Structure 1
């Protein structure tokens, strides 16, 4: 098979590999997409995103999707324009619409690049009436994210790592269909179908923490503990995702109950400076739910996110003596105990 043949549009070739079957089943069983949807595929040019778009193109006749490719040029590398042109040429060969967004200036961190990328993709989706943005995150990415968050310090929410679907601010759905497929599998797929992968040199740069996990930590764990560590960690994240969803719902119900006032009227769940919580209701609940309630409350007060220590300050007030109060939280709010109630007030 020649390189030219590997780039022929889907209509000229009808492959059906175990990876095609797996993704088809995943999309159907998890209800990731509907038939005839408009899907915007984020394609970097690396093996994961190219594997994703190739399989979706092959599945397109069965689902009737309208597929387009979006590429985000972060301007990190001297070859970034050539990278973008490579993806554009692939889109042309596959007869797929192509959208390009280029950063005005080089982005200084992974977090800044990620935020800009999602904003750019969301803007493209909104402007062109796409229902979903689809990314090529794999089980390997999920394992790396779990380890990265664990090392930094997190609860179950951080350990659930990447989720199958996430609603973005503009109500566009972000979907990750490859979370049960490893990077080794996407690489083998691209080799088998002669899909021309663009090698990103920044993936080898060990100044990035995720690259150190990918290049050093995971190979060490595979060699010395479990050859299937990526899949096992991804499965752990999947288990935690379901448990986190359940706990969040239970905590929200507990919070509603704890915020009912003495006259039977519910407190304002969304005004952080009129919140009061019934300590007697909270005392009956397990510690895990108490912590989640306090975190939900603090997230409305502290826009940058709350810490474990700040949550524990509120937890201590559930059983503290009357008239106890917390130190000020970022932004100036304090929590005070008055009888059966914890009041959160802005100073």
Structure 2
């Protein structure tokens, strides 16, 4: 079969971004919509070139009366293509817990990870597109977020140990996947919930993006997706620089401080940065301290990232902008300045050249 421009584009993306290795096992999440059908068709067509073992997984939330028929439709496609099919259906007792988009997404990734682990797949592959990336950027911007939220939907990220989540279509728009499905007569199963305007993402997709496209930029989806791509590289750089600054600030100990307040926990001497981020909060102890002189030399952007990283390790919930600002302000605050308690009971206080964080986790 002759490759289309989408085949060529996806092949080049996979190769240039090192998304997959050859001869790997790929578990492709297929909902039945145009994006996931486009994805599975392209991967199957590229399979002889790469030597992959490709299979389909479908997650049934049981949100719609036709969900079982949808699952059967996808299983029939898998049989026609001669590939393995895995189905996960939400249990009755779980249905109440996954009524929001965020909860449903978390459930999907959990069950996809389980399938991949049980059947030795190295990759879970999803059909997120440039259009999804644009919607996510707008959605997070409206809710209020920094660069990290705006660059969401990355090409690759770890799901669980040994399994990578990959999104090969992030440079392809929904218009392109729709045309691809039409050209190859792929049987799309329309999801009625995608038309329900009670969901914010559907309002962005159905109302806001078409308005922006008509009145501001006909290629707004691609432009926003490119912005997310630029932000991704910048966020990775800033996060690494902040980790290095945090390690330096936590390792600058003075002899006069030793023994004065007990043994301060220096996380950078216990674990590597990557290990710190994956260890449960309960594994850390307070107090811990940060050298203000080290932090004062850094730009505000890095100061905030250091404080966010610290709060991510000691708080039971994700830190808010206000909490990060509260801790960042201590870098230049007068001696003896102190915060009110953070969630979980920890407080931060300036003592000479140091910010001490004490309390309970």
TM-score norm. by structure 2 comes to 0.91
Aligned counterparts, 1:300-319, within 5 A: 300-319=313-332
2:103 to 112, 118, 121: 112
Q: Which residue of structure 2 aligns with residue 126 of structure 1?
A: 117
SS of 1:259's equivalent in the other structure is helix
SS of 2:347's equivalent in the other structure is strand
Per-residue CA distance 1:163-200 (angstroms, 9 max, x = gap): 00010133310000000000000000000000000000
Q: Which residue of structure 2 aligns with residue 80 of structure 1?
A: 67
Pairwise CA distance, 1:39 = 0.4
Aligned counterparts, 1:22-171, within 5 A: 22-105=9-92, 106=95, 107-171=98-162
SS of 1:327's equivalent in the other structure is coil
Pairwise CA distance, 1:320 = 1.1
SS of 2:11's equivalent in the other structure is helix
Q: Which residue of structure 1 aligns with residue 287 of structure 2?
A: 274
Structure 1 position 327 matched with structure 2 position 340: yes
Aligned counterparts, 1:206-245, within 5 A: 206-245=197-236
Pairwise CA distance, 1:251 = 0.3
- Cα pair 1:258 1:279 within 8 Å, conserved: yes
What are the ranges of 5 or more consecutive residues in structure 2 without an aligned counterpart? 259-263, 269-275, 277-283
- Cα pair 2:265 2:287 within 8 Å, conserved: no
SS of 1:99's equivalent in the other structure is strand
Aligned counterparts, 1:176-195, within 5 A: 176-195=167-186
C-alpha separation in 2, matches of 1:298 and 1:145 = 25
Pairwise CA distance, 1:301 = 1.6
Question: Where does structure 1 differ by over 4 angstroms across 4 or more consecutive aligned residues?
Answer: 263-266
What RMSD in Å do the two structures reach over aligned CA positions? Answer: 1.3
- Cα pair 2:347 2:358 within 8 Å, conserved: yes
C-alpha separation in 1, matches of 2:123 and 2:316 = 27
- Cα pair 1:38 1:131 within 8 Å, conserved: yes
Report the count of equivalent residues.
Answer: 334
- Cα pair 1:73 1:84 within 8 Å, conserved: yes
What are the ranges of 5 or more consecutive residues in structure 1 without an aligned counterpart? 1-13
C-alpha separation in 2, matches of 1:276 and 1:186 = 52
Pairwise CA distance, 1:108 = 1.0
TM-score norm. by structure 1 comes to 0.94
- Cα pair 2:62 2:90 within 8 Å, conserved: yes
C-alpha separation in 2, matches of 1:24 and 1:171 = 23
Structure 1 position 298 matched with structure 2 position 297: no
C-alpha separation in 1, matches of 2:104 and 2:162 = 21
